[in-house]
Amino acid sequence: MNEQAIRDMVSYAEASDYIGVAEAIYEWYGKNPFIDSYLKEHFTAGEKKIIEAVVEQFQATAPAGVLYNDHVREAYVSFIEIFDEYCLEKFEDSYEGWHPNDIKFAENYIETCGYDLPDFMANYFDYEWLARDLMLSDYTCCDNGYYFRTHF
């Protein structure tokens, strides 16, 4: 990978490109034993700062496997598009998974909160109302079904 390829990747335009860009930079960075002097010679201070930030973010999250599959990667892209935020820690804090609709999200919300409603009581619980309230106050969903907490 040459300087121009890195420079082009650093100046990415779309949030959907960010993950591929970051992975390519991270891989390139790790293979270069003289990276500090190389960055100083071939890149501006601003470009160097971006490259180092991307690498630092991936080094912090790669062992944990934050972006471990295409499903989560797609959710991360949606997170970037909704919140204009690239921090993987904030993504982890905010991401609530994929759900086919708001009602299923509300049902899952009740389950993950530890409320074990008996079947006869679940029939009386209005998940549609809960879903509406959750979406008005603390959560958002994108068109592809990924749900996020809005306060992170």
pTM of the entire structure? 0.59
pLDDT band at 30 (very low <50, low <70, confident <90, very high): low
End-to-end CA distance of the chain: 36
**How big, in percent rounded to 5, are the helix, strand and coil portions of the chain?**
65, 5, 30
Taking residues 4-22, what's their average pLDDT? Answer: 56
Sheet containing 146-149, strands listed edge to edge, beginning at the edge strand earlier in sequence: 95-98, 146-149, 139-141
- In this structure, are residues 69 and 98 in contact, taking their beta carbons and an 8 Å threshold? no
Q: What is the pLDDT of residue 36?
A: 66
Residues in the chain: 152
What is the distance between the alpha carbons of residues 9 and 88, in angstroms, rounded to a whole number? 19
pLDDT per residue over 76-106, tens digit each?
888 888 998 877 778 888 999 999 999 999 9
User: What are residue 97's DSSP bridge partners?
Assistant: 147
What is the distance between the alpha carbons of residues 105 and 110, in angstroms, rounded to a whole number? 9
What is the distance between the alpha carbons of residues 121 and 4, in angstroms, rounded to a whole number? 63
State both tokens at 84. Answer: 């204009």
- pLDDT over threshold 60, residue 127: yes
Q: Pick from 88, 89, 108, 90: which is nearest to 98 by CA?
A: 108
